[in-house]
């Protein structure tokens, strides 16, 4: 019996200078993907992926199309090798790669969406300074109580529920700091993240209507295979409802822990991180119990591809 496979796509925070270069050098169809992102954005995204500098690559207006280009390059190689998924999910920005993998949108429109998303998020981040901290060692209910207490001072919210006890909070810098102090008083660790805005918070609420209007211009199809969405930890088949989910995703928490638990309920056996680094693999190790029989692979370049193809041959 064929094993059930999930493709997981990373988002912001997984970037590294040099990402995608070996695939670009190996495959003509990957070069076409990088040419496409440069054409859609009218910038040298491919050069930033391959050569940096890291400071410029990490700017959200560049990073969103850059990460998406590498994710789609890795996906294209897997598709060329005849490897297909049964379900897919992407972490925040990575959700757009999932939409492409599931046939909801084509590659050109995927790049248009993430480029627009990056510009809108950058616009709001310049208006409203924000911060994000990872809280380690408390569960979601404990963090929600802390957020509720700190919210009396201003904007703060849960951004990412990554694992049972790794939760990212987001909001105004001083309020996020206050919440982190409350968490540390309860025995947790609080780690500031290197971000340029308070993603998934009310501070970027100004993006939502503009992005919803932009989404209305892009044709969406019903998914060919299920996508587990960040804000619901469930799948959706109606294209118009998917557009609404993607508009709301900007200011809503990423329910990654719940999404991975849903995949276990659906008896997914093989998890493949499709894109740079191993952030999602690290999260999986903390989410999936050792007693659950599964395999995890990373396809982030030629080496990871070879290991995966050998394993599934």
- The span from the CA of 282 to the CA of 293, in Å, is 17
Rounded to 5 degrees, φ, ψ at 300 are -120, 5
Q: What's the N-to-C CA distance of the chain in angstroms?
A: 14
Residue 97 is among the residues annotated as catalytic for this protein: no
Token output for 222: 């019903």
Q: Say if strands 166-171 and 131-136 run parallel, antiparallel, or are unpaired.
A: antiparallel
Token output for 209: 């209507």
Query: Hey, how many other C-beta atoms are within 10 angstroms of the C-beta on 55?
Result: 7
Query: Hey, how many other C-beta atoms are within 10 angstroms of the C-beta on 223?
Result: 21
Find the catalytic residue in 14, 92, 98, 107: 92
Find the catalytic residue in 85, 119, 161, 200: 200
Residue 84 is among the residues annotated as catalytic for this protein: no
DSSP 207-262: GHHHHHHHHTTS-----SS-B--TTTSS----HHHHHHHHHHHTTS-B-HHHHHHH
3-class DSSP state of 92: coil
- The span from the CA of 251 to the CA of 207, in Å, is 9
Query: Hey, how many other C-beta atoms are within 10 angstroms of the C-beta on 288?
Result: 18
Catalytic annotation, residues: 92, 200
């Amino acid at each position: 019996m064929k094993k059930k496979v999930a493709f997981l796509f990373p988002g912001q925070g997984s970037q590294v200078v040099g990402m995608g270069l070996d695939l670009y050098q190996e495959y003509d169809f990957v070069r076409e993907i990088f040419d496409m992102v440069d054409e859609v954005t009218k910038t040298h995204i491919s050069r930033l992926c391959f050569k940096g500098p890291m400071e410029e690559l990490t700017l959200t207006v560049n990073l969103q199309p850059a990460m998406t280009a590498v994710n789609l390059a890795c996906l294209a190689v897997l598709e060329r090798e005849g490897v297909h998924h049964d379900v897919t999910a992407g972490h925040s920005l990575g959700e757009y790669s999932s939409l492409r993998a599931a046939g909801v949108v084509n590659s050109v429109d995927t790049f248009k969406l993430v480029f627009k998303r990056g510009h809108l998020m950058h616009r709001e981040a310049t208006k409203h300074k924000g911060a994000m901290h990872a809280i380690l060692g408390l569960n979601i209910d404990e963090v929600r109580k802390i957020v509720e207490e700190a919210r009396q001072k201003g904007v703060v919210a849960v951004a990412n529920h990554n694992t049972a006890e790794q939760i990212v909070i987001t909001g105004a810098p001083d309020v996020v700091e206050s919440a982190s102090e409350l968490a540390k008083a309860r025995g947790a660790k609080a780690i500031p993240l290197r971000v340029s805005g308070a993603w998934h918070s009310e501070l970027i609420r100004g993006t939502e209507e503009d992005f919803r209007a932009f989404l209305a211009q892009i044709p969406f199809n019903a998914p060919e295979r299920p996508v587990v969405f960040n804000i619901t930890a469930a799948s959706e088949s109606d294209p118009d409802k998917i557009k609404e989910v993607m508009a709301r995703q900007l200011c809503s928490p990423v329910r990654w822990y719940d999404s991975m638990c849903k995949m276990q309920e659906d008896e997914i056996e093989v998890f493949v991180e499709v894109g740079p680094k191993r952030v999602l693999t690290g999260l999986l190790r903390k989410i999936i119990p050792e007693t659950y029989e599964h395999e995890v692979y990373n396809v982030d370049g030629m080496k990871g591809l070879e290991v995966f193809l050998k394993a599934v041959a």
